[in-house]
Structure 1
Amino acid sequence: MTGTGPDAPTAGSAAREGQAGPQADVPAGLDGTSTETPPVEVVVVTGLSGAGKNSAGRVMEDLGWYVVENLPPALLLPMVELGARGDVRRFAAVVDVRSRAFSSDLQEAIRVLAEAGHRPRVVYVHARDEVLVRRYESNRREHPLQGSGRLIDGITAERALLTGIAGEADLWVDTSDLNVHQLRATLENAFAREGRTPPLTATVLSFGFKYGLPLDADLVVDARFLPNPHWLPELRPHTGQDPDVRDYVLGQHDAGPFLDRYTEVLRLLIPGYRREGKRYLTLAVGCTGGKHRSVAIAEEFARRLAADGIDAVARHRDLGRE
Structure 2
Amino acid sequence: MNFVIVTGMSGAGKSSAINCFEDMGYYCVDNLPPTLIKSFAELIVSQQNKLSKVVLGIDTRGGSLFADLFTSLNELQKSGHTYEIVFFDCSDAELIKRFKETRRLHPLARSERIEEGIERERRILREIKEKANHIIDTSYMLPKDTRGVLYKIYCEDKAFDSLMITIVSFGFKYGIPIDADLVFDVRFAPNPYYIPEMRPHTGNESIVSDYVMQFEVSQTFLTKLQDMIAFLIPNFKKEGKNQLVIAIGCTGGKHRSVTLANALYDYLQNEGHTVIKQHRDIEKDSKRGK
Gaps of 5+ in 2: 285-290
Question: In the alignment, does 2:125 pair up with 1:128?
Answer: no
CA distance in 1, matches of 2:201, 2:148: 28
Q: Secondary structure at the match of 1:147?
A: coil
Structure with the largest fraction of helix: 2
Q: 2:28 aligns with which of 67, 74, 93?
A: 67
Task: Name the structure 1 match of 2:4.
Answer: 43
TM-score under structure 1 length normalisation: 0.62
CA distance in 1, matches of 2:189, 2:75: 52
Deviation at 1:197, TM superposition (A): 4.0
The letter of the residue matching 1:43 is V
Deviation at 1:316, TM superposition (A): 1.3
Question: In the alignment, does 2:179 pair up with 1:213?
Answer: yes
CA distance in 2, matches of 1:117, 1:66: 16
Task: Name the structure 2 match of 1:315.
Answer: 277
Give the count of matched residue pairs.
267
Task: Name the structure 2 match of 1:286.
Answer: 247
**Residues 184 and 286 (structure 1), Cα distance of their counterparts in 2 relative to 1, 3 Å cut:** same
Check the 8 A contact 1:45/1:125 in 2, yes or no.
no
Pairing 1:194-213 to 2, within 5 Å after superposition: 196-198=157-159, 200=161, 204-208=166-170, 210-213=176-179
Gaps of 5+ in 1: 1-38, 215-219
Task: Name the structure 2 match of 1:19.
Answer: none
Task: Name the structure 1 match of 2:288.
Answer: none
Deviation at 1:124, TM superposition (A): 0.5
Deviation at 1:207, TM superposition (A): 4.4
**Residues 281 and 161 (structure 1), Cα distance of their counterparts in 2 relative to 1, 3 Å cut:** closer
Check the 8 A contact 1:206/1:290 in 2, yes or no.
no
Deviation at 1:43, TM superposition (A): 2.3
Deviations 1:289-313 (A, max 9, x none): 65444432232123224445x2666
CA distance in 2, matches of 1:270, 1:89: 35
Question: In the alignment, does 2:205 pair up with 1:242?
Answer: yes
Deviation at 1:204, TM superposition (A): 4.8
**Residues 256 and 320 (structure 1), Cα distance of their counterparts in 2 relative to 1, 3 Å cut:** closer
Deviations 1:209-234 (A, max 9, x none): 634226xxxxx442215427789444
**Residues 212 and 291 (structure 1), Cα distance of their counterparts in 2 relative to 1, 3 Å cut:** farther
Deviation at 1:157, TM superposition (A): 3.3
Q: Secondary structure at the match of 1:54?
A: helix
Q: 2:154 aligns with which of 191, 196, 201?
A: 191
CA distance in 2, matches of 1:206, 1:120: 31
Check the 8 A contact 1:299/1:314 in 2, yes or no.
no
Percent of matched pairs sharing the same residue: 27
What's the C-alpha RMSD, in Å, of the aligned pairs?
A: 4.3
Deviation at 1:53, TM superposition (A): 1.9
Q: Secondary structure at the match of 1:128?
A: helix
The letter of the residue matching 1:315 is K
CA distance in 2, matches of 1:236, 1:68: 52
CA distance in 2, matches of 1:167, 1:213: 22
**Residues 286 and 91 (structure 1), Cα distance of their counterparts in 2 relative to 1, 3 Å cut:** same
Deviation at 1:318, TM superposition (A): 1.6
Greater alpha carbon shift after TM alignment, 165-174 vs 280-289: 280-289
**Residues 152 and 203 (structure 1), Cα distance of their counterparts in 2 relative to 1, 3 Å cut:** closer
Task: Name the structure 1 match of 2:223.
Answer: 260
The letter of the residue matching 2:97 is E
Task: Name the structure 1 match of 2:63.
Answer: 100
Deviation at 1:186, TM superposition (A): 4.0
**Residues 105 and 163 (structure 1), Cα distance of their counterparts in 2 relative to 1, 3 Å cut:** same
Check the 8 A contact 2:13/2:88 in 1, yes or no.
no
CA distance in 2, matches of 1:318, 1:168: 33
Deviation at 1:57, TM superposition (A): 1.2
CA distance in 2, matches of 1:286, 1:261: 16
Q: Secondary structure at the match of 2:260?
A: helix
CA distance in 2, matches of 1:149, 1:102: 22
